[in-house]
Structure 1
């Protein structure tokens, strides 16, 4: 016949394991919920940081636009196209060096602009805009006077 003490000891350890298992299960559920919450908060932080970077970039762009508007309020924003520059030079029938004299830059600079290796500065865009309106005769007259 088994000893009553050993039976009691076995029963106590069984009940204790059952209680510990129940407590661990609630802790596991809480831990899972906390981990899910932390992951969601990390996603929110990443989204907010991305939005902040975009807003800072937009503000910097708008400040740069405002600053450039303060410096030259009468100038309009000019666009540049390398293919249009090459087409206009061909239409005028001028070499890059001659076209460069009209604009006030070297022929090599004209080549670089046409190939897309470089872009004209704002002041150079203004002189390109003034040359854009010229026809072949007017361009030849301007070159003759230089």
Structure 2
């Protein structure tokens, strides 16, 4: 009886594997098709994003005016806007702060007085250990855009 039971189990397993193999093959085919469709969609998305960024930068001009997309939250002070190209967003970075401080010839303490923060904050921002609050960034960018004389007069005041 055990030979018959073993033979029956083996036959059931063989038939199950055969049926599963067919099911798995069809699932693999579907998976390959879906992956290729996903890859094509990703390429289309990347192309659309490139077009949107070009339009927002004003490079993809059609007839007439430049298209500049800038939400209200990203708008910057007028002093910073006037010194840059339209459609470009100025971002605060520690390297930029350090370069501006060097250009002005200021110490960290003098830059801290100009930006109305502590000299420790300046050090942390420049070293990348911290970044200013989002609410303070527009004011900081506006003061960083000042020339040497204007910055020196603000420190003296």
TM-score category by the smaller chain?
Answer: 0.5 to 0.7
Larger radius of gyration: 1
Give structure 2 stretches of 5+ with no counterpart. Answer: 32-70, 75-88
Aligned partners of 1:78 and 1:126 also within 8 Å: no
Aligned residues: 96
Q: Which one of 87, 96, 99 corresponds to residue 99 of structure 2?
A: 87
Q: How does 1:105-120 map to 2 (within 5 A)?
A: 105-120=117-132
Q: Which one of 103, 115, 131 corresponds to residue 103 of structure 1?
A: 115
Give structure 1 stretches of 5+ with no counterpart. Answer: 1-12, 45-72
Over the residues paired in the alignment, what is the CA RMSD in angstroms? 3.0
Aligned partners of 2:100 and 2:144 also within 8 Å: yes
Equivalent residue, structure 1, for 2:13? 28
SS at 2:153's partner residue? Answer: helix
Aligned partners of 2:92 and 2:141 also within 8 Å: no
Higher helix share: 1
**TM-score in terms of structure 1 length:** 0.54
Alpha-carbon distance in 2 for matches of 1:27, 1:88: 78
Q: Which moved more, 1:107-116 or 1:125-134?
A: 125-134
Equivalent residue, structure 2, for 1:131? 143
